[in-house]
A = this chain, B = another copy of it.
């Protein structure tokens, strides 16, 4: 029932669907990391301090089921699995950038977290 995802439930609006697909705590990070390069399971994990293998697996499976991420298994010993964005998956990047940009504006309103002079776009996400 993971591979079927939620059968694209009856969303009240498309925004809900989008948030269901790319939202949550980890998916934006995953998608962002895969933006420019294939990554292996452990490679993804390194840049997401605190995620358990179980969670990472779950998120990746969902992204795969939703057609955003391609999972390629190399039948070797030791096993190797590479994750990359599908063509469709790449279409979310601009959306993520929009979210990132607005988030920077929101955070900059009175909070800090390290000021981002110069980096007025989406540099923050890549850290």
Contact = CB atoms under 8 A, between A and B. Distances in A.
A1 B13 CA distance: 30
B105 A16 contact: no
Given A88-B109, A106-B18, A29 B13 contact: yes
Interface string A80-121: 000000001001101110111111111101010100000000
Q: How large is the interface on A (under 10, 10 to 19, 20 to 34, 35 or more residues)?
A: 35 or more
B14 A19 contact: no
A58 interface: no
Nearest to A17: B103
A111 to B, nearest CB: 4
B109 A67 contact: yes
Number of copies: 2
A48 B10 CA distance: 14
Contacts of A101: 14
Output the residue of A25, A66, A98, A124 with the most chain B CB within 10 A: A98
Nearest to A104: B14
Given A14-B124, A15-B125, A28-B15, A102 B111 contact: no
Interface in A1-39: 8, 10-19, 21, 23-25, 28-29, 32
Contact of A17 (B15, B18, B107, B127): B107
